[in-house]
């Protein structure tokens, strides 16, 4: 079955154009121009990925993002206005996995959709039978097969991107992992930008969920100018 993409965008020309490009890549598309219809759809169906515009006439994409994250872990890409840094950070904090700034090239959005789906499928259970898929560290347990994580036997509610970052850091336990490497591992090489603070926001949110602090971290340590590490 083709993967299904949810689009919520009130600018009909943009929504229709994105739909056209995604359908050309053989994706199934559920398209809505407002939040009300989209929220009703989310309650009945589970797409493989959502593309949400921040600004909508009857609500906003942030509220939809938050609603999705109450029940689902599939990837979310936010569409933001140029230089709307606060919206980007808020979206990532609420559980979005990526954002793209308007105006954008449809092929760039398609590339990001593919990267998110590829990562989500890769770490959502596609492992060989010979691997347990379990990573443990100081009360933290990550099951790569089931895409679940627990801290002191209590479930952690992680977005796909947060899960991937934590998995990568645990796999490289004792070694520093640069922001560039995290970016390339999760999204591929398509659009890494030195000034992009996406990783920083995800790390901050991960620390909150782990009960960690930047000043005295038990799990994720910042190595200034280099990257992040989890001590052995």
Pair (184, 223) in one structural domain = yes
Pair (98, 139) in one structural domain = no
Pair (79, 54) in one structural domain = yes
**For residue range 120-160, what is the model confidence (pLDDT) as tens digits?**
776 553 333 334 578 888 888 888 877 788 998 898 888 88
CATH of residue 152: 1.10.10.10
Q: Which of 93, 122, 151 is the last residue of a domain?
A: 122
- Split into its structural domains, the chain has a count of 2
Judged by average pLDDT, the poorest of 18-27, 77-86, 188-197 is: 188-197
Confirm whether 116 is domain-assigned: yes
Between residues 187 and 18, which one has the greater pLDDT?
18
For helices 160-171 and 179-187, what crossing angle results, to 10°?
120
In this structure, the strands spanning 140-143 and 134-137 are antiparallel
pLDDT computed for residue 32 by the predictor: 96
Instruction: Name the residue among 32, 36, 21, 27 with its Cα closest to residue 4.
Output: 27
pLDDT computed for residue 26 by the predictor: 95
pLDDT exceeds cutoff 70 at 193: no
Confirm whether 129 is domain-assigned: no
pLDDT computed for residue 7 by the predictor: 97
Q: Which residues on neighbouring strands pair with residue 137, listed in sequence order?
A: 140
Pair (103, 10) in one structural domain = yes
Q: What is the mean pLDDT of residues 183-199?
A: 65
pLDDT computed for residue 123 by the predictor: 54
pLDDT computed for residue 97 by the predictor: 87
Pair (148, 198) in one structural domain = yes
One DSSP character per residue, 58-106 reads: SSBHHHHHHHHHTT--S-EEEEE-TT-HHHHHHHHHHT--EEEESS--H
Pair (26, 49) in one structural domain = yes
**For residue range 155-181, what is the model confidence (pLDDT) as tens digits?**
888 888 888 899 999 989 889 998 888
pLDDT computed for residue 122 by the predictor: 64
- Domain with 57 in it: 4-122
Q: Which of 101, 122, 143 is the last residue of a domain?
A: 122
Pair (117, 202) in one structural domain = no
Pair (88, 141) in one structural domain = no
Pair (40, 11) in one structural domain = yes
C-alpha distances out from residue 208 to 27, 40, 52, Å: 35, 31, 25
């Amino acid at each position: 079955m083709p993967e299904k993409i949810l689009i919520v965008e009130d600018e009909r020309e943009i929504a229709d154009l994105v739909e056209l490009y995604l359908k050309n890549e053989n994706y199934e598309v559920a398209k809505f121009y407002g939040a009300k219809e989209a929220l009703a759809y989310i309650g009945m169906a589970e797409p493989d990925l959502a593309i949400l515009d921040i600004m909508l006439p009857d609500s906003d994409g942030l509220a939809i993002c938050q609603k999705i994250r109450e029940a689902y872990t599939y990837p979310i890409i936010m569409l933001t206005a140029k230089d709307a840094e606060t919206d980007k950070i808020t979206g990532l904090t609420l559980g979005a996995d990526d954002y793209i700034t308007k105006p954008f090239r449809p092929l760039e959005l398609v590339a990001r959709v593919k990267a998110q789906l590829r990562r989500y499928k890769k770490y959502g259970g596609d492992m060989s039978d010979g691997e347990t898929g379990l990573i443990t560290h100081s009360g933290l347990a990550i099951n790569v097969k089931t895409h679940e994580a627990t801290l002191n036997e209590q479930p952690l509610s992680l977005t796909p991107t947060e899960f991937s970052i934590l998995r990568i850091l645990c796999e490289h336990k004792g070694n520093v992992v640069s922001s560039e490497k995290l970016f390339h591992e999760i999204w591929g090489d398509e659009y890494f930008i030195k000034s992009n603070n996406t990783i920083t926001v995800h790390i901050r949110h991960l620390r909150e969920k782990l009960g960690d602090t930047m000043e005295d971290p038990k799990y994720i340590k910042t190595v200034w100018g280099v990257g992040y590490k989890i001590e052995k």
